[in-house]
Amino acid sequence: MSVDPATFSIVTSIIVAVAREMSTDLLRTAYSSIIREAADASTGLLDRDGNAIAQAENIPIHLNSMGPALRECLKVYGLSELTPQSVLVSNDPYSGGQHLSDVFFFSPIFSGDEVVAFAGSCGHFQELGGSSGYNLRAQDVFQERLRLIPMKFELGRDWPDGMFARLIRGNVRSPREVIGDMNAMLAANKKGVVRMTSALKRYGKDTLLECMGGYLDYCERMLRDRIAQAPDGVYEGEDWIDDDGLNSGPIRIAVSVEIAGNEVHVDFTGTDDQVTSAMNCPFASTVGSVQTAVKMLLSDPDVPFNEGFNRPVHISAPLGSILNPRPYAPCEARQLPVIRSFQAVVKAFSKVLPEQVAATGYDTRTGIRFWRVLSEGGYEFHSDPLGGGYGANYYHDGESQLDDPLGNCRNTPAEAFELSQDFFRVLCFELIPDSGGPGKYRGGLGARRCYEILEDNIRFSWASDRFQHRPEGLFGGQPGTCASIEIHRNDDTIQLPSKGDTVLMKGDIVEVRIGGGGGYGPVEERLQSLVRSDLLNGRITAESARSVYGIEI
């Protein structure tokens, strides 16, 4: 490399900082709360071949989402067709996209007449025409959302008043929010273009291109070194989804991970076929899930991701499986297969990286939603995403009740719910003793959250999993518990399936019991002092101290 080390360090740090600054702009100016508050959006800078150089993914599930989407766009449009006003757009799961809710915008960055890079952003649109909310029963993507196959529009001509804007406006229920979020994405891209243009001026095109290429090599080199340290071999893992939401299941996710020198081959042969519900996982999401697992296991948490990480990792899944569905299978509810494929990969790696992996956690985001129909029309809607217990690991017990490893949602305070509505109340939010899988290190606990309904005819929908398949322990550790959701009505208890919707009445109590994570290592090796401390602190019961750990207190 002809660039000196300080310049390389400075230019790469500027690229990373620009990606992050784009992200704060996007989060700050977005209209919808899912982007602004849940940070379900990402931004990045990509080279002109469509490799992500730096990405600000606010939640891990967005990792590696940019590159595949841009590369598909570049198959349709050559660089010479682009102008500084051009924006490439796509949300198509069958052209490198995630699910239709995730829309990508890419803006070219020019040096003179030459495209040298792209600024990109991705936002999650809760509403984009088609079905409202998750439609598990959608028969294909066309019933899910407006589909934007890779296309190009021109600022000024097509936006904010031209054809592309009118196409969007005419196909969504809340154009103000959707257009607002798209404007926020365009503002973020513009920030990226402006800041990179000034870096171009300061450091020159050649230096910038060399640093971008060098940065890919840098990440690749680090990952290859780590892979090379792991013993060669073929390692297998699997995990299960209870059902597809239409009561067909269980669904098996199977993976084999081959480590060969400084490369990894990940293959999902043996995974069940695609499903008829919307719970299919487009291949780009499968790739993102594997890459996240590889990044978490093999690189330091503070090393930023770029597409150099992809070079030593080769991923395949049979066409027609739930992890590589055929066009145009519905896929809005891809989240469960994404997280289960992540867990299967982690499990496969457990055989070679026992100190880096964790036992399987509950690792599911349970979506709880209450809403009531307003007399003046419309809905008042409250959603409460709940994580669960993490798996234990080589070093310590799993953490209790965290958002799943691919997200990072905060829980909503009971007081915040109660300050903003009067139709339900949170009665408790507490850890469930014995929910963490026993072991040398115990799995994290799941929590119990109860809601008291204060009005008749409250709509309730939920999406959860692991009602039947417990998160497994590792190396002799025992599994964590399953989850359950019940309605207590008068003296009756109504057991609910893992996914569904219903109507609640005043006085109903909804009890959600989240599962815990798996244990790590045999229980016999658990320190007595930890068992006593768990008992003292209510994390296990006296009964399990005796029956599981054999300690009489």
Partner 1 sequence: MRNVIGRLAIEIGGTFTDVVLVIETEQGIKVNTFKLPSSRSHPEQPVVQAIDSMDIAPSELEEFLHGSTVGTNTVVERRGAQSCLVTTKGFGDILEMQRGDKEVIYSLLYKRPEPLIQRSHVYEADERIDRYGVVLNPLTDQDISEIVEQIRAVAPQSVAVSLLHSYANPEHEKRLYDAITTALPEVNVVLSSDTAPQFREYERTSTTVMSAYVSPVVGAYLRSLEKALKDRGFTGSFNVTQSNGGVMSCDLACRQSVWTLLSGPAAGVSGATRLASTSGYRNLITFDMGGTSTDVCLVEDGKPQLSSEYKVDGLTVALPMIDVVTVGAGGGSIAWKDEGGMLCVGPQSAGSVPGPASYGRGGTAATITDANVLKGIIRAKRSIGGDLRLSVERARDALAQAGAEFGQDPLEFAESIVRVANNNIAQATRLVSTYRGKDPRDYTLVAYGGAGPLHAAFVAEELDIPRVLVPIHAGIVSALGLMLADFRRDYAHTRVIELVEGSMEELRTEFRNLEQDARDELGISSDSGVTIQRCVDARYRGQGYELTIDLTGDEKSAAEIAALFNEAYANRYGYADQGQMIEIVTCRLSCVQRRDVVSPDILRFESRKGQVETAPVWHGGHWIDCCFYERADLGVGDSVRGMAVIEEATSATVVPPGWQARVDESGHLVITREGRQ
- Taking alpha carbons only, the member of 369, 370, 374, 350 closest to residue 360 is 350
Site string for partner 1, 3-32 (x = CB under 8 A): -xxxxxxx-xxx--x--xx--xx--xxxx-
Site for partner 1 in 132-151 (CB under 8 A): none
Q: Which of 393, 478, 481, 544 binds partner 1 (CB under 8 A)?
A: 393
Which residues partner with 86 through β-bridges? 154
Site string for partner 1, 411-430 (x = CB under 8 A): xxxxxx-xxx----x-xxxx
The answer to whether residue 246 forms part of the interface with partner 1 (CB under 8 A) is no
- For residue 54, what are the CA distances in angstroms to 3, 22, 111, 306, 425? 19, 11, 19, 5, 43
Site for partner 1 in 259-298 (CB under 8 A): 292, 295-297
The answer to whether residue 197 forms part of the interface with partner 1 (CB under 8 A) is no
Q: How far is the CB of 15 from partner 1 (least distance, A)?
A: 11
Residue 1 or residue 163: which is nearer to partner 1 going by CB? 1
Binding piece for partner 1, criterion CB under 8 A, among 108-116, 178-186, 255-263, 500-508? 178-186
HEC profile for 484-547? Answer: EEEEEECCEEEECCCEEEEEECCCCEEEEECCCCCCECCHHHCCHHHHHHHHHCCCCCHHHHHH
Site string for partner 1, 302-331 (x = CB under 8 A): xx----------------------------
CA 321-286-164 angle, to 5 degrees, is: 105
d(CA 443, CA 398): 5
- Enter the tokens of residue 339: 């997280």
CA distance from start to end of the chain: 66
Cis amide linkage into residue 362, ω under 30° from 0:
no
Q: How far is the CB of 60 from partner 1 (least distance, A)?
A: 6
Q: How far is the CB of 17 from partner 1 (least distance, A)?
A: 5
The answer to whether residue 166 forms part of the interface with partner 1 (CB under 8 A) is no
Q: Which of 59, 117, 255, 336 binds partner 1 (CB under 8 A)?
A: 59
Largest CA distance in the chain: 78
The answer to whether residue 506 forms part of the interface with partner 1 (CB under 8 A) is no
Q: How far is the CB of 533 from partner 1 (least distance, A)?
A: 8
Q: Quick one: residue 50, left, alpha or beta (phi over 0 = left, psi -120 to 50 = alpha)? A: left
| Count of residues engaged in binding partner 1, rule: CB under 8 A | 84
For residue 145, give every residue at least 6 positions away whose Cβ sits within 8 Å of its Cβ, in sequence order, or none: 91, 100, 101, 125, 128, 129, 130, 131, 332
The answer to whether residue 123 forms part of the interface with partner 1 (CB under 8 A) is no
The answer to whether residue 401 forms part of the interface with partner 1 (CB under 8 A) is yes
The answer to whether residue 84 forms part of the interface with partner 1 (CB under 8 A) is no
Site string for partner 1, 210-229 (x = CB under 8 A): --------xx-xx--x----
Do 144 and 330 contact (CB within 8 A), yes or no?
A: yes
What one-character-per-residue DSSP string does 224-278 give?
HHHHHHSPPEEEEEEEEES--SSS---EEEEEEEEEETTEEEEE-TTPPBP-SSS
The answer to whether residue 376 forms part of the interface with partner 1 (CB under 8 A) is no
Q: How far is the CB of 195 from partner 1 (least distance, A)?
A: 8
Q: How far is the CB of 329 from partner 1 (least distance, A)?
A: 30
Q: How far is the CB of 162 from partner 1 (least distance, A)?
A: 21
Q: Which of 234, 536, 542, 553 binds partner 1 (CB under 8 A)?
A: 536
